Structures are given as C-alpha cells and as structure tokens.
Amino acid sequence: MEVRSVYKYARISPKKARDVAREIQGLPVSDAIDTLNFTPKKAAFLIGKTLKSAVANAENNHDLAADSLLVKEANISDGPSFRRFKPRARGSASAIKKRTSHIYIILTDEGAEEKAPLKPEQGNRKKPAAKTEKVKEEAAADESVTDSAESELGAEDQVDADPVQEASDHSPDEETGAEQVTEEPPTSEEESEEEEQKD
C-alpha cells in the first residue's frame, strides 16, 4: 500500500531541495528521518516535515506500522516564482525570482524487509585470502634472495682469506720439509787451522 503526503508552495528553490530529496529516496523511514536530522540545510527541515506527515497518515488512516514503511519516491516539482526587482545603475532594474517548490513524498510497505540493511554478521564479506597469500609468497621469495646473496658473499670472503691464512700458518721450511740447521760461530782454533791451510 502507498501513502502520500504533499507540501505545496514551499519557499525554497527546487534545485536546492532536490539535492536533499535524493539522499532519502529508497531508505527506510527511520533511516530517512535520521539522515534529515543530521543534514544542516533548510530543505532537510521542510522535507522532514512532509515525511513525518506521511508517516502520520499511514499510522492513522491505514493502520500501518512506521517500521515497515519505505520511502518509495521523494519528488520536487517547480512551483510559482515571485518576481521582484533590484535597482541598478542609471535608473535601471534587474529581475529577481524567488522560487517555490512542491514536495511529494510517497511511502510504501512493500519490499521494506528486502531492502532493510544487513547486519555486519549477515553481510557477505569475503576475506582477502588471496591477497595475504600473495604477500606471503613475495616475502618468502625476498628472504630466499637475501639468503642466497649472503651465502655468495660468505663464499667469496672465505676464498679470499684462505691463501693469506695458509701463508701465515705454514713457513717455507715446513713446506719443503727441510730441517732448520743453526750454525755456531767458529772458535779460535778453527780459525788458526784455516789460516795455516791457506798459507
């Protein structure tokens, strides 16, 4: 069943009223009233009065519960304009139009349960499993690359350090296997014998 309410000759521009009317179209009555209460515009106050009038019509004339109602249409049509003039230079005057609007609100009790907002528990929320798996794979690949780079650097350092270490650890006598012989200084007798042999 549809319930209707009209506010004629509202002193507001149709363009300004339509911006607010679009926000409540298709919402449940409770959500529409909350939206209008927290919209700081003159059009929200005028449309709110029309919406409350439509809810009262549904409850009193058709025995409908306000919780089961849905805003089916919220239309704004042009009303008559008041022509005023503003004095300008050299005795001329410019026209001013003070526009009015007709506000139409239509409520219905059909489809209110279907369009009711779902609770967070009932919502079909998909977990970003694929994204997390992709991130884990990228992290594992980065770790493998860093490990391989570190192992290569360690091998190069070990190759460079081996010749120096072997050279410092082994003396040339040990490599050839020769025994070290310490020569004692010649005595005086040996020197005299060498001189006689020369003579």
The DSSP code sequence of 50-69 is HHHHHHHHHHHHS---GGG-
pLDDT of residue 1: 87
Give the pLDDT score at 115.
52
Q: Left, alpha or beta for 120 (phi > 0: left; psi -120 to 50: alpha)?
A: alpha
Q: What is the Cα 154 distance to its own chain's centre?
A: 42
3-state helix, strand, coil in the chain (%, to 5): 50, 20, 30
List the chain residues with pLDDT less than 70.
111-134, 145, 148-150, 152-192, 195, 198-199
DSSP characters for 6-56?
EEEEESS-HHHHHHHHHHHTTSBHHHHHHHHHT--SHHHHHHHHHHHHHHH
What are the CA-CA distances from residue 152 to residues 59, 106, 144, 146, 156 (Å)? 82, 76, 12, 10, 6
Q: What is the pLDDT of residue 155?
A: 61
- Count CB atoms within 10 A of the CB of residue 39: 17
Residue 185: per-residue pLDDT: 61
State whether CATH 3.90.470.10 applies to domain 2-86+95-108: yes
Domain boundaries, the chain: 2-86+95-108, 133-168
User: Quick check: pTM over 0.85?
Assistant: no
pLDDT of residue 21: 95
- Residue 154: predicted pLDDT: 63
Give the pairing of strands 2-10 and 93-98. Answer: unpaired
